[in-house]
Amino acid sequence: MRKETLMRIFILITVLILSGCASTSNNRAVELVNQGIMYADNGQYELAIVEYNRAIEIDPDYAAAYNDKGNVYFMKGQYELAISEYRKAVNSDPGYAKAYSNLGFAYFQIKQYERAIIEFNNAIRHNPEYSKAYNNRGLAYFALGEYERALRDYNRAIDIEPDLAKPYDNRGVVYMIMGEFERGCSDVFRACQLGECETYEMVSEEGYCNNEYLAFNFIVQELAAFID
């Protein structure tokens, strides 16, 4: 009996020690990824990759490390390498919506629009409220000339996140292509108010959008929000 008791105590201590080691290792991997993000934000991409690789050595199933490493390759324009890392991320975590969306956008960059849509679908399946995934899928539909589908996705992105500038900007471009200039100008104007002004400034210079009309229209919309 005494021998069995001692064996149980030994097993318990071993488990606790191993659990502590695992926790310490995971914390270290997180620290390395955070350091990698800091390097990437400062444009020090090679140093960032070194930190992500170190994190992956500690935890080979660390999906965020693969995703963030993919982001670095994406920023460097190395889309095939980015795709490889994003794929590893979703293999490590099949429910990782952000990595699916990033994977889709990398395919978008190399003009594989149908494949991009598949990955955006995966992102939305795992996170139905992922506004950026709807916006990005809209871009892929737009590239394929499927403007109605693109509009539906931009509308959904705006419904989910009304203060996200990109969907307004992208929707405005679609409206203009479809000949609906007033709606298009209103959207790119709204995008500019939210911080995305490139399209609005470009079309204004070309004389497509009247500033006085847009300002008046915005005031009317703001006042209408107070009407019951």
**What confidence tens digit (pLDDT) does each residue in 156-169 have?**
999 999 999 999 99
* pTM across the whole model: 0.80
Q: What percent of the chain has pLDDT over 70?
A: 81
Return the sign of the alpha-carbon dihedral for residues 198, 202, 204, 208. Answer: negative
> pLDDT digit string (tens) for 104-114?
999 999 999 99
Q: What number is the average pLDDT over the span 65-76? A: 97
Amino acid 208: pLDDT:
84
CA distance 46 to 26: 23
Amino acid 8: pLDDT:
57
Choices 2.60.120.10, 1.10.260.40, 1.25.40.10, 2.40.280.10: CATH for 16-146:
1.25.40.10
Amino acid 3: pLDDT:
58
Amino acid 206: pLDDT:
85
35: helix, coil or strand? helix
Task: Report whether 54 contacts 70 (CB < 8 A).
Answer: no
Does 25 have pLDDT greater than 80?
Answer: no
Q: What is the mean pLDDT of the chain?
A: 87
Does 2 have pLDDT greater than 70?
Answer: no
> Domain residue spans in the chain?
16-146, 163-228
pLDDT band at residue 155, thresholds of 50, 70 and 90? very high
Residue 27 phi/psi, 5-degree rounding, is -60, -40
First to last CA, the chain: 79
CA distance 194 to 153: 19
Task: Report whether 89 contacts 52 (CB < 8 A).
Answer: no
pLDDT band at residue 7, thresholds of 50, 70 and 90? low
* 50, 55, 59, 62 alpha-carbon torsion, rounded to 10°: -100
